[in-house]
Amino acid sequence: MGGPVIAAIGESYSRGRSVVAERPLTVVVGIAGLLLLFDLGSGMATGRYSVSRIGRFVWDGLMYGLIIGLAGIGLSLTYGILQFANFAHGDYITSGAFMGWGVTYVIAGLSSANVGHLLLVAPQGNISGGLLEIGVTSTPLAVLVGLVVAGLATILLVLLLDRIVYRPMRDAGGIPLLIASIGVAFALRYVVVLVYSTRTRGTTLRPPGTAINLVDGPLLIDAHDVTLLVATVALMIGVHLLLQRTKLGKAMRAMSDNRDLALVTGIPTERVIRWTWIIGGGLSGMAGYLMVLWTGTIDYQFGWLLLLLIFAAVILGGIGSVYGSIFGGLVIGIAMRLSLVWLPTGDFDLVAAFGIMILALLVKPQGLFAGRTTA
Amino acid sequence: MSETVPREDEATAESERAGDDADAVLRIEDLHKNFGGITAVDGATFGVERGSMTGLIGPNGAGKSTVFNLVTGIHDPDSGSVWFQDEEITGLRPYEVANRGLVRTFQIARELANLTVMENLMLPAKAQSGEALWRSVLPGFRRQVVEEERELRERVWETLEFFEIQHLADEKASNLSGGQRKLLELSRALMLDPTMLLLDEPFAGVNPTLEKKLLEHVQQLNDEGRTFLIVEHDMDLIMNNCEHIIVMHQGQVLTEGTPADIKANEEVIEAYLGSPWPISNDTCRSISPPWSSWNDWENCSESCWP
Amino acid sequence: MSARTDLRESARDLLAADAAKIAAVMLGIYVTYLLVGLILGYSANGMINTLQRLTFLVAIYAMVVLALNLHWGYTGLFNIGVAGFMAVGLYTMAMLAKPVEPTGGAQYPGLGLPVPIAILGGVLAAALVGFVVALPALRLRADYFAIVTIAFAEIVRLLYTASPFQEFTIFGYTMGTGGGRGILFNFQDPVVTIYRLPIFEGPVTFVNQYVEFGPADAQGVIYVGLLVVVLAGYYLLLKRTGESPFGRVLKAIREDEEATNALGKNTNAFKIKSFMLGCALMGLVGILWQFRRAGITPDAFRPHVTFYIWIALIIGGAGSNTGSILGAGIFTAGLFEGPQYLRRIIQSQISVGQPPGTFADAVGPMFALNFQPITSYLFNNMLTLQFVFMGVVLVWLMQNRPDGLLGYRTETAAAVPLGKRSDEVSETVHRADEPSETVSGTDGTSETASREDEVSDQ
């Protein structure tokens, strides 16, 4: 009786030992993470850290993480199915946001300025989103239509770019596609500059919110926070249903697993790829729109700057995995904000996020949701 | 080759002895390897006699290629040990194994596609002082590197001549045919002057004439005293050319012995018949899919699909 | 008849020679720019300045592309964080060289080391940082490696921007990066020291008789001359690296790392060495690129820089040192500087009118078939258009010329010529025409099949 038990204990012991020996980095990272969490908990319990401040970090991080996760789904899908890291994804986000916000401006401000000016999200300083009193409570229709247009317009853009750039290179392999996508990113970003100018503009009027009391101070949550939360979660659930319940989702999963096999087994790969772009493009455009709604500013390179964080989320979660992307986004977003608890200034939050990504790649290059691609 | 009538007890006795064969140049003991819950090698133990030409056979998924990978350091075994020339080489990196004189070829030829045949062959030679960057670059030392390269070029030519592929010397490896690639791999492995060669399906996809040629070369090298361990699906080829055969099944050594022993062994026949996919990988790849929809693709033996 | 073919063949041989190719391309570039100068009515001084700036940029890009070629072209290390390594080189150099007690408004102190030692320090720092990045990233796939390197480059930039490092004290030494405001290079410029060498006195006076040539211009020319010498050094170093057993292992790693390892090569060691060498060379380029300026901000090392370098590499064709220099020349003259000169030429010839303020104002009149506003708008935004164009060029290259604008070049990975056997020249000649009929075909399968029969029939 005792024999097998001892053998099992021995086995698990030696397995544990081999984890320490073979993956020392994993252990170190794990311990460091636990120590930080412990410090956070004890700090809040003893009053060393302000609970409301940390609450705000977590809430902000959650918002950030939702955007990153939502935008990351598209990147993750194309990465999994087309097998390349699309560096133009960030600029899809920017383009979508500009196109959507142009429509929002038109609807909200048609009486106060000419259409061309509004469609370009007011490139000259005489009108602004604040002046037009744009917000989800003040101009709900403009925001809703803008969000939808952001998604649709980005889909068209992305399909066009696929047709021109990526489709002729379908069999070129991941690296040439990656390099080409850097070219697309650059060209697209400066087309945005050409059309919309480099000016950073304010897009919204801060909507009313409520204060939630958190032990030692209030946490302010406004209507845009709630909109972001509701919209991203709804979109994520939608994608989940799409991928789980439809034949398309099944085909995408099969292609993500083994593209050659999918080809010989009669999956209409081109159609699957088109749908991948449609889902990914739509989500990135809407994520961009929502991000601008939430931050209240827009400029030509915010998507590009977001891209590395999205990569971080996608890699952390495991390429091709939708849940991984959402989970990764939340981890990156919250960790980035929470890092402000320990870091002296706000200069290091991006450094912390990129650092987490590099660590994730080193510790678990296949991602946390490995093996559950596109699920 | 051998005409002796097989006797079952003799075969078993031989298999028991093989594990601690004193004359074994390569010995593996109780190797285990799991891949994400799938057991690829489950306690394999065997020895390869010095100077022999030994065949390693078994149905698909028996763990032959995994054994190769474990021996040559591509993967680390979960447990068990590998001994080469009375030295434990378990867990060594592939380059360390190769430099000890145990060199392998790959199932699908791994030619360095954008290098020429000559560059391919010059690469593996041992003790190239020019592999130290500073020697290759600094003026005084480079002369010696150039001198070495000249000698190495001669050696490469001799090897190319041995395999009768001099006319391909300048060709980019990617321009070679499948059979030529196999030749290139073998000749390249030889540049390491190995004591023992592990050949993973060296004859797969090679046309009959070239196969004969390749076989002659292998036999000649074997006569020179180099040990060969060959994984091959062509039964006739193994039976006619190997003096000793090891049969693997489900990650373990099922039996071993002379070709005659193996032919008569009922367990072996059963193992082959009972296997879910008793055809070679190449066949599996080349045939049209037997499954009706892509939902069924998992039915194909796992080893078929990389 | 045959004499003419001979002539043509020898001319082709000459053009095929790498040095001749570089010379021809550079000559073409210079002639074009001299013509541009003529059209724009530049003075002799202006011409020299134009060519000097052009040569400076070509040399800088050629050097860094050569270094990147070592990473990507030779070893297959997909480094898209080049700007980061350049920044490390330059910042380390500046922080080491700045005076301990800066005077006036020259912000933060440094270690006050002599400039040559500081340069060495910068190069070593870049190599060391390369080691730190490469060591853990070695086992990653190429695309992950790329993401790690670009994230690293951004981390470097953000750290140099971060205010806590504006000025800090470590081991009792106070120094600083200057944060977002950047770093001032308030140390002795060694070019000035070189310029004051007696041997330059004569030539400078001589030249000054003909063209107005202040000391700053002369120093500029000397510096560019120096850069060309360093470039030659880079080229020689990397050529030797490529044509050696070391380079052979690198190329083998690029093709198939696992197979190379199984052939007895410690691939990780080679990858680290290659990466560190490339990073050191990038660090030096970072220094040479910027240090004659008054100072630098971290913004100079945005990912754009890496993007330019990659375009130049791909134009020239990865894997070839000669291609790297050609690519740098074509990129600088055609894509980087070209559009600006084009704009100046157009501006000097025709009036494009007052550009409209916004894209809408430019597009609107198009519906009334008035194309003047859109033209002047685009013209006014030439710089932006140039970036768009660069992106398009990169895509076009990846689609149509992945081996480079001038086609694939093979550079032998050995210290001696291969393929010909010294003592069997006649036989080799005989052999040489044998495969030529089979190789020339583009259809790989049929040609190789026929050759395989040759093998077996022998």
Using DSSP's 3-state secondary structure scheme, residue B276 falls into coil
Q: Residue A167 in contact with residue A88, Cβ under 8 Å?
A: no
Q: Confidence class of residue A196 from pLDDT cuts 50, 70 and 90? A: very high
CA-CA distance, A275 to A238, in Å (whole number)? 14
pLDDT at C373 over 70: yes
What average pLDDT score do residues A164-190 get?
92
CA-CA distance, A279 to A268, in Å (whole number)? 17
Q: Any idea which residue has 């593209």 for tokens? A: A259
Asked whether residue B100 falls in the same domain as residue B129, the answer is: no
Q: Which residues of B touch A267 (CB under 8 A)?
A: 294
CA-CA distance, B250 to C297, in Å (whole number)? 64
Q: Burial, A91: exposed, middle or buried (Cβ in 10 Å; 0-12, 13-18, 19+)?
A: buried
Q: Residue A90 in contact with residue A303, Cβ under 8 Å?
A: yes
> pLDDT value at position C5?
62
pLDDT at C157 over 50: yes
> pLDDT value at position C271?
94
Q: Which of B288, B293, B294 to mutate to test the interface with A (most CBs of A within 10 A)?
A: B294
Q: 59-98 in C: which are within 8 Å (CB) of A?
A: 78, 80
Put simply, the answer to whether B291 touches A265 (Cβ < 8 Å) is yes
Least confident of A138-147, C297-306, C381-390, C411-420: C411-420
Class in CATH terms, C25-354+372-400: mainly alpha
Put simply, the answer to whether C414 touches B112 (Cβ < 8 Å) is no
Structure tokens at A12: 């698990």
Q: 244-303 in B: which are within 8 Å (CB) of A?
A: 289, 291, 293-294, 297
Q: Is B35 on the interface with A (CB under 8 A)?
A: no
> pLDDT value at position C13?
61
CA-CA distance, A50 to C330, in Å (whole number)? 58
Listing DSSP states for A24-85 in one string gives HHHHHHHHHHHHHHHHHHHHHHHTSS-HHHHHHHHHHHHHHHHHHHHHHHHHHHHHHHH-S-
Put simply, the answer to whether A265 touches B293 (Cβ < 8 Å) is yes
Asked whether residue B30 falls in the same domain as residue B144, the answer is: no
Q: Confidence class of residue A288 from pLDDT cuts 50, 70 and 90? A: very high
CA-CA distance, B227 to B250, in Å (whole number)? 26
Look at C320 and A254; give whichever has higher pLDDT. Answer: C320
Kindly provide the residue ranges of all beta strands, DSSP E only, lying in chain B, ordered along the sequence. 24-35, 38-49, 53-57, 79-84, 87-88, 102-104, 196-200, 227-231, 244-249, 252-257
CA-CA distance, B16 to B13, in Å (whole number)? 5
CA-CA distance, C426 to C433, in Å (whole number)? 12
Structure tokens at A155: 């889909």
Structure tokens at A183: 């070219």
Q: Residue C87 in contact with residue C301, Cβ under 8 Å?
A: yes
> pLDDT value at position A54?
87
> pLDDT value at position C15?
54
CA-CA distance, C341 to C346, in Å (whole number)? 9
Put simply, the answer to whether C147 touches A351 (Cβ < 8 Å) is no
Mean pLDDT of chain C: 82
Asked whether residue B35 falls in the same domain as residue B133, the answer is: no
CA-CA distance, B112 to C248, in Å (whole number)? 11
Per-residue pLDDT tens digits for A298-343? 999 899 989 989 998 998 888 878 888 999 999 999 988 888 888 8
Q: Is the dihedral of CA A111, A116, A119, A121 positive or negative?
A: negative
In degrees rounded to 5, what are phi and psi of residue A219? -115, 115
- Nearest-by-Cβ selection for C143 from A174, A188, A347: A174
Residue B274's CB is within 10 A of a number of other CB atoms, namely: 11
Q: How far is A49 from chain C (nearest CA, A)?
A: 22
Asked whether residue B138 falls in the same domain as residue B12, the answer is: no
CA-CA distance, B298 to B285, in Å (whole number)? 14
Structure tokens at B272: 């082959």
Structure tokens at B58: 């078994």
Q: What residues contact B225, with CB distance under 8 A and at least 6 apart?
A: B51
Asked whether residue B141 falls in the same domain as residue B249, the answer is: no
Q: How far is C452 from chain B (nearest CA, A)?
A: 7
CA-CA distance, C144 to A185, in Å (whole number)? 18
> pLDDT value at position C2?
52
Q: Which residues of C touch A76 (CB under 8 A)?
A: none
Strands B196-200 and B102-104: parallel
Put simply, the answer to whether A267 touches B294 (Cβ < 8 Å) is yes
Kindly provide the residue ranges of all beta strands, DSSP E only, lying in chain A, ordered along the sequence. 201-202, 209-214, 217-222, 297-298
Residue A135's CB is within 10 A of a number of other CB atoms, namely: 25
Name the residue of chain C whose CA is nearest to B114's CA. C255
Asked whether residue B83 falls in the same domain as residue B8, the answer is: yes
Put simply, the answer to whether C415 touches B131 (Cβ < 8 Å) is no
> pLDDT value at position C437?
36
Asked whether residue B156 falls in the same domain as residue B57, the answer is: no
> pLDDT value at position C8?
65
Least confident of A346-360, B241-255, C174-188, C415-429: C415-429
Chain centroid offset of residue B184 CA = 14
Least confident of A128-137, B185-194, C251-260, C428-437: C428-437
Q: How far is B39 from chain C (nearest CA, A)?
A: 23
CA-CA distance, A285 to A90, in Å (whole number)? 10
Chain centroid offset of residue B168 CA = 24
> pLDDT value at position C219?
80
Look at B188 and C17; give whichever has higher pLDDT. Answer: B188
Residue A63's CB is within 10 A of a number of other CB atoms, namely: 23
pLDDT at C450 over 60: no
Q: Using CA atoms of C285, C291, C292, C296 in order, give the dihedral in degrees to the nearest 10.
A: 120
Per-residue pLDDT tens digits for C195-206? 777 777 777 777
Q: Any idea which residue has 């990659």 for tokens? A: C310
Q: Residue A356 in contact with residue A332, Cβ under 8 Å?
A: yes
Q: What residues contact C344, with CB distance under 8 A and at least 6 apart?
A: C40
All structural domains of chain C with their residue ranges:
25-354+372-400
Across the A:C interface, residue pairs with CB atoms under 8 Å apart total 146
> pLDDT value at position B210?
86
pLDDT at A140 over 90: no
Residue B130's CB is within 10 A of a number of other CB atoms, namely: 27
Asked whether residue B14 falls in the same domain as residue B133, the answer is: no
Element of type H or E holding C170: strand C168-170
Structure tokens at B49: 């006699």
Q: Residue A194 in contact with residue C362, Cβ under 8 Å?
A: no
What average pLDDT score do residues C248-252 get?
94
Domain count, chain B: 3
Asked whether residue B170 falls in the same domain as residue B183, the answer is: no
CA-CA distance, C94 to C109, in Å (whole number)? 10
Per-residue pLDDT tens digits for C266-289? 999 999 999 999 999 999 999 999
Using DSSP's 3-state secondary structure scheme, residue B170 falls into coil
Choosing from B175, B197, B212, the residue where a domain stops is: B175
Asked whether residue B77 falls in the same domain as residue B144, the answer is: no
Q: At what angle do helices C82-97 and C267-290 cross, to 10 degrees?
A: 60
Q: Which residues of B touch A258 (CB under 8 A)?
A: 297, 305
What average pLDDT score do residues A111-117 get?
82
- Residue B299 belongs to domain spanning: 279-306
Q: 264-293 in C: which are within 8 Å (CB) of A?
A: none
Per-residue pLDDT tens digits for B68-87? 999 999 999 999 999 999 89
Q: Which of A358, A362, A364 to mutate to test the interface with C (most CBs of C within 10 A)?
A: A358
- Nearest-by-Cβ selection for A190 from C155, C384, C395: C384
Q: Residue A302 in contact with residue A192, Cβ under 8 Å?
A: no
> pLDDT value at position A130?
81
Put simply, the answer to whether A265 touches B305 (Cβ < 8 Å) is no
Name the residue of chain B whose CA is nearest to C456's CA. B210
Q: Burial, C128: exposed, middle or buried (Cβ in 10 Å; 0-12, 13-18, 19+)?
A: middle
CA-CA distance, B262 to C104, in Å (whole number)? 92
In degrees rounded to 5, what are phi and psi of residue A330? -65, -45
pLDDT at C441 over 50: no
Q: Which of C418, C429, C440, C450 to mutate to test the interface with B (most CBs of B within 10 A)?
A: C418
Q: Is C363 on the interface with A (CB under 8 A)?
A: yes
In terms of Cα–Cα distance, which of A138, A157, A147 is closest to A97?
Answer: A147
> pLDDT value at position C221?
84
Per-residue pLDDT tens digits for A249-270? 888 878 877 777 777 777 788 8
Q: List the chains bordering chain C where 3 or more Cβ pairs fall under 8 Å.
A: A, B
CA-CA distance, C260 to B113, in Å (whole number)? 12
Asked whether residue B188 falls in the same domain as residue B261, the answer is: yes
Q: How far is C422 from chain B (nearest CA, A)?
A: 9
Look at A312 and C14; give whichever has higher pLDDT. Answer: A312
Q: Is A265 on the interface with B (CB under 8 A)?
A: yes
Structure tokens at A205: 């009027």
> pLDDT value at position C361?
84
CA-CA distance, A114 to A102, in Å (whole number)? 12
Q: How far is B244 from chain A (nearest CA, A)?
A: 36
pLDDT at C237 over 90: yes
> pLDDT value at position C106?
57
Whichever domain contains B15, its CATH number is: 3.40.50.300
Q: Which residues of A touch C78 (CB under 8 A)?
A: 175
CA-CA distance, A199 to A298, in Å (whole number)? 9
CA-CA distance, C373 to C363, in Å (whole number)? 7
Element of type H or E holding C183: strand C183-184
Q: What residues contact C296, with CB distance under 8 A and at least 6 apart?
A: C90, C94, C182, C183, C185, C290
CA-CA distance, A213 to A293, in Å (whole number)? 25
Q: Confidence class of residue C409 from pLDDT cuts 50, 70 and 90? A: low
CA-CA distance, B84 to C440, in Å (whole number)? 46
Put simply, the answer to whether B297 touches A266 (Cβ < 8 Å) is no
Amino acid at position A119, single letter: L
Amino acid at position A4, single letter: P
What average pLDDT score do residues C27-50 get?
89
Q: Which residues of C touch B187 (CB under 8 A)?
A: none
Within C190-244, where are the H helices?
A: 190-195, 201-210, 215-242
Q: Is C360 on the interface with A (CB under 8 A)?
A: yes
Put simply, the answer to whether B305 touches A258 (Cβ < 8 Å) is yes
Q: Which residues of C touch A168 (CB under 8 A)?
A: 399
The whole-number mean pLDDT for each consecutive block of 10 residues of chain B, a chain of 306 residues, reads 44 44 83 85 92 89 89 91 92 92 90 91 90 88 91 92 89 89 91 93 86 90 93 86 90 88 80 52 40 34 37
CA-CA distance, A304 to B260, in Å (whole number)? 69
Asked whether residue B103 falls in the same domain as residue B136, the answer is: no
Put simply, the answer to whether A354 touches C151 (Cβ < 8 Å) is yes
Q: Residue A255 in contact with residue A267, Cβ under 8 Å?
A: yes
Q: Which of A43-52, A99-108, A128-137, C103-112 has the highest mean pLDDT?
A: A99-108
Look at C455 and C45; give whichever has higher pLDDT. Answer: C45
Q: What residues contact C43, with CB distance under 8 A and at least 6 apart?
A: C211, C212
Residue B7's CB is within 10 A of a number of other CB atoms, namely: 11
> pLDDT value at position C455?
37
Amino acid at position A101, single letter: W
CB half-sphere exposure, A75, CA atoms < 13 A: 40
Q: Residue C255 in contact with residue B113, Cβ under 8 Å?
A: yes
